């Protein structure tokens, strides 16, 4: 189980801060509301980078609620005490950064080795031309586990073009199932940043997040596939000719370059690499419940620790997809290093979300919110989904929605009084809310529209609704399970 950041025990509201504006529960709730409003204004209107916006709002909320500058930042002469900003940032990233980094490198090796193309080709051959949309959906799910959403689109778009040209009909029939698979895994399953960040902020084992994410995500993606089949038969969007031709030329060039130099990637190897970390983490999680303390249990928990499990999977990918197929160590290093470049922004946003949660807790704002939400009579899982949904629709970023919501709902989950499984379901609800109604303020909306040549109106009718179906279905399953877990 993840240890909570040090120095973040609940504290009563302070009165010695720089801006002790108002006191009592009503004042703290006002500070919270103004803080969230300021966050939305900074991101939506001022176009401020989310990391900067979250950090600025955290400081403003802390000062307005009565925290002192010393409590927030510490002193120049360090006395051993850790400031709220430092503990929030460090306590959050201490666990999350390693997992996201290892997962990112694993996905990069799978993509650069041709594993994604091999996976889709095997599944297309297995399902046949008539079931090509289902094959694309399965490809999205399997590849989406280790690969970021935007990378998955970039890699699989040419395969979608080819499948749509061979099968005929609207490109939506082939693109939407794949997009649903990528989106579900990116939102619900580690090692993706959203669920990993929420697990760190709410202190729950990743094994439970994987299990509940899969249990809720599979029905959600099936519902999304059903909608994709329905809208794909009614809304015709042709394959974008220019992009399809360019993609075909690129694939032919890559195939010619690889011919004779590398052995083809087998489906079994890909499934072993993708499945290894998930199985090891799940075994470790359930060994702590099913097994008495012993050497055997310690061994299982060691190999199932996310750091170890992902390192094993990455080394397997290096060997099976790289070294055995002629890659040099320089190539492996270059692929790994390049994959980490876009991760910095994600980690900063997640860390700033940790600061926001720490400030809410230390100032008493979080407890005031908890008391108010408890009085509303809504289950935590419902509140988590609604808050995340509102933040998502308002500002577009799923990561910002997740880390902000996790900080708000954390005090509703007292340590020791809520099971790990139930907390994991709350994380699923937060993640589901964070993908609701992707529209024009979301970069994913424009990526889908431009990559697949879908006009904006048709993108709203297809992709935006598809994301909403995923969100509602995933939340519905989580809500039902929360009644019995």
Convert the pLDDT of each residue in 213-245 to its tens digit. 999 999 999 999 999 999 999 999 998 876 555
Query: How many domains, the chain?
Result: 1
Question: Average model confidence (pLDDT) for the chain?
Answer: 85
Asked if residue 163 has pLDDT above 90, the reply is no
What residue numbers bound the domain in which 266 lies?
24-482
Asked if residue 13 has pLDDT above 50, the reply is no
Asked if residue 14 has pLDDT above 80, the reply is no
Instruction: Classify residue 388: in a domain, yes or no.
Output: yes
Instruction: Classify residue 36: in a domain, yes or no.
Output: yes
Convert the pLDDT of each residue in 312-326 to its tens digit. 999 999 999 888 888
Asked if residue 392 has pLDDT above 70, the reply is yes
Asked if residue 349 has pLDDT above 80, the reply is yes
Instruction: Classify residue 398: in a domain, yes or no.
Output: yes
Instruction: Classify residue 9: in a domain, yes or no.
Output: no
SS3 sequence, the chain?
CCCCCCCCCCCCCCCCCCCCCCCHHHHHHHHHHHHHHHHHHHHHCCCCCHHHHHHHHHHHHHHHCCCCHHHHHCCCCCCCCCCHHHHHHHHHHHHHHHHHHHHHHHHHHHHHCCHHHHHHHHHHHHHCHHHHHHHHHHHHHHHHCCCCHHHHHHHHHHHHHHHHHHHCCCCHHHHHHHHHHHHHHHHHCCCCHHHHHHHHHHCCCHHHHHHHHHHHHHHHHHHHHHHHHHHHHHCCCCCCHHHHHHHHHHHHHHHHHHCCCCCCCCHHHHHHHHHHHHHHHHHHHHHHHHCCCCHHHHHHHHHHCHHHHHHHHHHHHHHHHHHHHCCCHHHHHHHHHHHHCCHHHHHHHHHHHHHHHHHHHHHCHHHHHHHHHHHHCCCHHHHHHHHHHHHHHHHCCHHHHHHHHHHHHHHHCCCCCCCHHHHHHHHHHHHHHCCCCCCCCCHHHHHHHHHCCCCHHHHHHHHHHHHHHHHHHHHHHHHHHHCCC
Listed range (87-96, 139-148, 194-203, 466-475) with the worst mean pLDDT: 87-96
- Give the residue-averaged pLDDT of 188-214: 93
Instruction: Classify residue 89: in a domain, yes or no.
Output: yes
Convert the pLDDT of each residue in 204-221 to its tens digit. 999 999 999 999 999 999
Instruction: Classify residue 1: in a domain, yes or no.
Output: no
Instruction: Classify residue 4: in a domain, yes or no.
Output: no
Instruction: Classify residue 260: in a domain, yes or no.
Output: yes
- Give the residue-averaged pLDDT of 121-148: 90
């Amino acid at each position: 189980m993840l240890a909570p950041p040090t120095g973040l025990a609940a504290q009563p509201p302070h009165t010695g801060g720089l801006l002790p504006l108002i006191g009592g529960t009503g004042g703290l709730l006002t500070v919270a509301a103004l803080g969230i409003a300021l966050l939305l204004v900074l991101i939506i209107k001022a176009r401020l980078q989310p990391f900067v916006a979250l950090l600025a709002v955290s400081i403003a909320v802390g000062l307005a609620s009565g925290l002192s500058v010393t409590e927030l930042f510490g002193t120049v002469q360090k006395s051993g005490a850790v400031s709220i900003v430092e503990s929030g940032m460090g306590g959050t990233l201490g666990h999350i950064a390693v997992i996201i980094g290892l997962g990112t490198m694993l996905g990069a090796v799978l993509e650069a080795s041709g594993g994604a193309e091999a996976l889709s080709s095997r599944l297309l051959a297995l399902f046949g031309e008539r079931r090509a949309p289902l094959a694309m959906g399965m490809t999205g799910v399997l590849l989406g586990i280790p690969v970021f959403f935007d990378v998955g689109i970039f890699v699989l778009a040419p395969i979608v073009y080819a499948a749509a040209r061979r099968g005929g009909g609207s490109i939506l029939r082939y693109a939407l199932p794949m997009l649903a698979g990528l989106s579900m895994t990116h939102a619900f399953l580690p090692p993706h940043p959203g669920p990993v960040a929420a697990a760190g902020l709410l202190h729950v084992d990743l094994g439970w997040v994987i299990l509940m994410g899969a249990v809720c995500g599979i029905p959600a993606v099936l519902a999304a596939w059903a909608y994709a089949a329905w809208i794909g038969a009614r809304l015709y969007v042709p394959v974008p000719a220019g992009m399809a031709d360019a993609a075909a030329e690129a694939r032919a060039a890559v195939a010619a370059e690889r011919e004779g130099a590398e052995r083809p990637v087998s489906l079994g190897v890909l499934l072993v690499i993708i499945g290894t970390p998930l199985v090891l983490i799940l075994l470790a999680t359930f060994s702590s419940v099913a097994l008495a303390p012993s050497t055997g249990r310690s061994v299982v928990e060691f190999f199932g620790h996310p750091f170890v499990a992902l390192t094993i999977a990455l080394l397997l990918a290096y060997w099976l997809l790289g070294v055995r197929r002629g890659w040099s160590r320089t190539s492996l290093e270059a692929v790994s290093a390049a994959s980490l470049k876009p991760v910095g922004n994600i980690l900063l946003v997640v860390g700033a979300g940790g600061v926001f949660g720490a400030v809410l807790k230390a100032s008493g704002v979080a407890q005031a919110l908890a008391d108010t939400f408890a009085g509303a009579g809504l289950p935590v899982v419902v509140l988590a989904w609604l808050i995340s949904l509102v933040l998502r629709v308002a500002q577009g970023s799923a990561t910002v929605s997740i880390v902000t919501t996790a900080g708000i709902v954390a005090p509703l989950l007292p340590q020791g009084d809520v099971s790990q499984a139930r907390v994991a379901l709350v994380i699923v609800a937060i993640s589901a809310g964070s993908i609701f109604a992707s529209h024009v303020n979301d970069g994913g909306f424009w990526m889908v529209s431009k990559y697949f040549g879908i006009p904006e109106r048709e993108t709203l009718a297809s992709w935006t609704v598809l994301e909403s179906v995923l969100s509602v279905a995933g939340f519905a399953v989580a809500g039902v399970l929360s009644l019995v877990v």
